[in-house]
Amino acid sequence: MRIAVVAAMEEELAPFRNFYASTVIWQKGKTIIEKVHEDLYLVVSGIGKANAAATAAWVCQQLSLDLLINTGSIGSFRKELPLGSIVFTDRFVYSDVDATGFDYAYGQVPQMPADYPVSETLLAIIKQVLTQNQISAFQGTIGTADSFMSDELAVSAIKKAFPLLTASDMESCALAQIASFYEIPVINVRGISDHVGEHAPATFDDNLEFAANQAFHAVRSLIDFWQQDLS
């Protein structure tokens, strides 16, 4: 299985670089593509939906992927989930798109699906592999927005629109949207760096490395499962 692991920031990809020997094969702007071997690539996309979409288009077009894994840090909407906890999404949604005036669902880009679900098969594998590796993880919907979730009014509005939202990032739904054009499945497995709200930026700074390392261990267990014949 050919896999690309995509993180927004170099800090989030650092644990993978420390573990896997890789070579840069393409770089432009904030995007860096590194090859570990023929079936594994490490990717820095840059922060935000535009960077994520541009990166997804390149890797999906050029690498003939079987799976795209989005990872790194994430802000949790659930205060009871401890920092460093692993979360993975059951579907990708935008939490800052509003075309409801044209009878689209909140979060739905016009003429595009309302969300991008992860297959039950992939969800079952994630649960199985993480459980077998004694990695505690939480499944829930992750929303994507071009805003860091530190503004209380914005957080309240998103909670109203998506009351069951588990966490928020700035890239994953854009990756899923572009990958859907190529019929390439996407999963999102991240570590909680902060809880949304006014204290989120300081908490994020303090816990980015911790969250990235936690996410790395979870994602590496999945890579080992899918590429066990290569190990």
Q: What is the pLDDT of residues 160-214, one digit of tens each?
A: 999 999 999 999 999 999 999 999 999 999 999 999 998 999 999 999 999 999 9
What pLDDT sits at residue 229?
A: 61
What pLDDT sits at residue 56?
A: 98
Phi and psi at residue 138, to the nearest 5°: -125, 130
The architecture (CATH level 2) of 3-228 comes to 3-Layer(aba) Sandwich (3.40)
Tell me if residue 11 is catalytic. Answer: no
What pLDDT sits at residue 230?
A: 58
Annotated catalytic residue, options 10, 11, 12, 96 = 12
Tell me if residue 194 is catalytic. Answer: yes
Annotated catalytic residue, options 34, 39, 171, 194 = 194
For the chain, 231 residues long, the average pLDDT of each consecutive 10-residue run is 98 98 96 98 98 97 97 96 97 96 96 97 98 97 93 91 95 98 98 94 96 98 89 49
What pLDDT sits at residue 198?
A: 85
pTM of the model: 0.95
